Structure 1
């Protein structure tokens, strides 16, 4: 057995949740099924290592899933100080809006009944929206929402590459077997300066989340940060106060965040992906490493071990580059 975030084999069984085998589903239905929680001794992530029988039960839950069951299909409200009650996705998107472009393309990854898209349609009127979900249950309803131009079910490989300015993962990441791997795939669909908005339950403020049978992961602020960073993202906004029992992060590429901290504007960004070469981030071009001269310093936004490996590889592949050009914290 391995940790679903860091792949460590040092996962420790903490035990069953509750004195009885009863549990709850994420759509607020009671279920008689035992729940066992494990903790990774390396990254600290709390998780369930589901058996084949667990996945069978979860499949049955999803076949009859009714999101927002207790509120007649309406999204949960939040009550921010000094503001009227509003859906929690509306509030989070409103807080993120200053960091978003005036026009763009949003992907709702795990769209469900379209709650996020309803909020986005009100706050981002000049954007286009696409939805992805594992079922077609709400397909027609979602396609009728303002701004929605596409719906994909099943295989996300059908999604266009380097296309999205924002991917929203709203109460979805906690359900997937390999959350870091899922986040890592988003790089191929995002534009170079694209961002990811995540909300998941916060187990530190809502320990009852441990009893939700179809939640694989139970994130704390620290473990969600680790998950995001291990997938190649950096936190550009921490929405801890936005929802009292949830974690909300806006993620961006670490190189873009690092560039805002440099004493001068960078000459360019580097990328080995030819599909990104030629694009621009805030007017700054993306170039391939082979286009650089040996006198240009290269600031690396990665940990030392990763930076060192990349520097040695690029120096061997690109005759114009030298390992000493690459700058990183050691």
Structure 2
């Protein structure tokens, strides 16, 4: 069976809400951020590694219609769809592809988490960047989104320090790295090293990967038990979201009446046999559990306004207000009425 990308939204890309760059499709938010930091010429060449069905290529063409666009995927599943997009000049597929050009911009959005050796994957791209070219990498931020540990095809996990180290080892040190532009994600802009590179982080992580993983698995236990307690007190119980975290939690605790999602493209569908609704459609007096960090939960609650529902979540991983880097996990149950 063909892999269905973003199947809950019929293939449409995820929408983001109340980011520093507004609300909208993920690729549009990303490009708004990049345009503030990269002076993109009127014409050039873009290679999108892991292009899937071409969402980023479509968004990029709208802001730079004179650019030549190229996509790469491990298989040719989306070849015809991508080649039919305006501005697309080529599509590459296969595990041992050789790219024919030097590109002004190379993007790898949600690719490195699928790669066992990210540095070895990135290093050959040096030869394919134009002299002033830039590489843009996006990965899940394990500090804000530890549920990523449960995704079977994610074999590499990153926080800001580890992503910075991988880029330096690859010969493509980051010139900008942020956890603030897109919730739960890290964005790095990198380019060829010029002389000795300045280290942003130590070569040795402050916390070992094993220690961090053990702490996060204890956190999952806490989220599960907090959700069970909330469900036991609720007249109607739902889970916020309709992606990995929501599906995991529903599987763990069972007896979920509904899933609530802010993304309009997901509403009206079902997950695990339960309806996906808006918060406004949730039953009056319902309890909605948010299986996400405090930083994300507070934004959801603020956007909800004064709805007759109670929100419950586990207080963990609040962002440091200065650095944007998530603090170590802490676990305190919190409840808020919208």
Pairwise TM-score range, normalised by the shorter structure: 0.5 to 0.7
Q: Verify the 8 A CA contact 2:21 2:29 in the aligned structure 1.
A: no
Q: CA deviation at 1:113?
A: 1.2
2:196 aligned to 301, 306, 310, which one?
301
Q: Verify the 8 A CA contact 2:172 2:191 in the aligned structure 1.
A: yes
Identify the residue that residue 154 of structure 1 maps to in structure 2.
Answer: 94
Which TM-score applies when normalising by structure 2?
0.55
Identify the residue that residue 8 of structure 2 maps to in structure 1.
Answer: 70
Q: CA deviation at 1:230?
A: 0.7
| Inter-CA distance 137–230: structure 2 relative to 1 (3 Å threshold) | same
Paired residues, number? 197
CA distance in 1, matches of 2:96, 2:145: 31
1:233-312 aligned at under 5 Å gives the runs: 233-255=172-194, 300-302=195-197
1:227 aligned to 162, 166, 174, which one?
166
CA distance in 1, matches of 2:3, 2:166: 27
| Inter-CA distance 132–196: structure 2 relative to 1 (3 Å threshold) | same
Identify the residue that residue 257 of structure 2 maps to in structure 1.
Answer: none
Task: Look up the SS of the partner of 1:217 in the other structure.
Answer: coil
Q: CA deviation at 1:81?
A: 4.8
Matched, 1:111 2:6: no
1:134 aligned to 74, 81, 84, which one?
74
CA distance in 1, matches of 2:75, 2:94: 7
Could you list the runs of 4 or more consecutive aligned residues of structure 1 that deviate by over 3 angstroms after TM superposition? 80-84
Structure 2: unaligned runs, 5 residues or longer: 200-338
| Inter-CA distance 140–79: structure 2 relative to 1 (3 Å threshold) | same
| Inter-CA distance 224–84: structure 2 relative to 1 (3 Å threshold) | closer
1:172 aligned to 102, 111, 135, which one?
111
Identify the residue that residue 41 of structure 2 maps to in structure 1.
Answer: 101
